[in-house]
Structure 1
Amino acid sequence: MTTNKALSRLGLAMRAGKLVTGEEFVLKAIRSGDAKLVLLAGDASELTRKKVEDKCGSYNVPLLIGYTRYELGGAVGKPERVLFAVTDRGFADLIRSGWVQQSEVENID
């Protein structure tokens, strides 16, 4: 069990069915307005990072970048995961408030 608040809350959001994972599904959630917050692993490829940053910027969706694909995947009980969209405002706020300083954080408004 992780002691990091953001990662713990990410796991709760997954169990509550309030997370979307996978590039195609996350981009769709951003375009449809369902994404309240997007999380990207710090070790994501440059191409994925640019695509997600551009899409979040265009649709005014906050983006947090940090942790590794293994840490994010482990938080939700899955193998490595690079990208998530949080579809619930309450979980989005909880995860943002727990995102730690050790992560690179970028907010695109």
Structure 2
Amino acid sequence: MKDPQRILQLLGLAARARKIVSGEELIIREIRGGRARLVLLSTDASHNSRKKIKDKCASFNVELHEFGDRYDLGHATGKEARVAVAVTDNGFATKLSGLLNEYNRG
């Protein structure tokens, strides 16, 4: 089932519940602090941003998904373009993880 809309809607819900963090430095701080549960990286992120976030997620064992472009992520969270978003809530992260895995398999 390829429905990116459900993922974006859930991301918007998490944003309204203040359970996400965006901005490269803030995301890295959340990963280091053990608060990031899941990180979404836009498919059009720069090479440097992509490498920095991927490496951090790998070393701190945080689930990482590439999904949508910076405008999709920004629009879903009610902000301008966002290259990456970290979800800090277990419930939202678990649900998003399921939807993303399903989406990527589809």
Same fold judged by TM-score > 0.5?
Answer: yes
**In structure 1, what is the Cα distance between the partners aligned to 2:62 and 2:37?**
6
User: Does structure 2 retain, via aligned residues, the 8 Å contact 1:40–1:65?
Assistant: yes
Look up the match of 1:86.
Answer: 87
Look up the match of 2:104.
Answer: 101
**Structure 1 unaligned spans of 5+:** 104-109
Look up the match of 1:7.
Answer: 8
TM-score, scaled to structure 1 = 0.87
CA pair 69-97 structure 1, distance change in 2 beyond 3 A: same
Look up the match of 1:61.
Answer: 62
More helix per residue: 1 or 2? 2
- Partner AA of 1:101 in structure 2: N
Matched residues, number: 102
- Partner AA of 2:25 in structure 1: E
Identity of aligned residues (%): 48
Correspondences of 1:19-98 after superposition (within 5 Å): 19-98=20-99
**In structure 1, what is the Cα distance between the partners aligned to 2:99 and 2:39?**
14
Give per-residue Cα distances to partners, 1:59-86, cap 9 Å, x unaligned. 0000001200001111111111111110
SS state of the match for residue 101, structure 1? helix
TM-score, scaled to structure 2 = 0.90
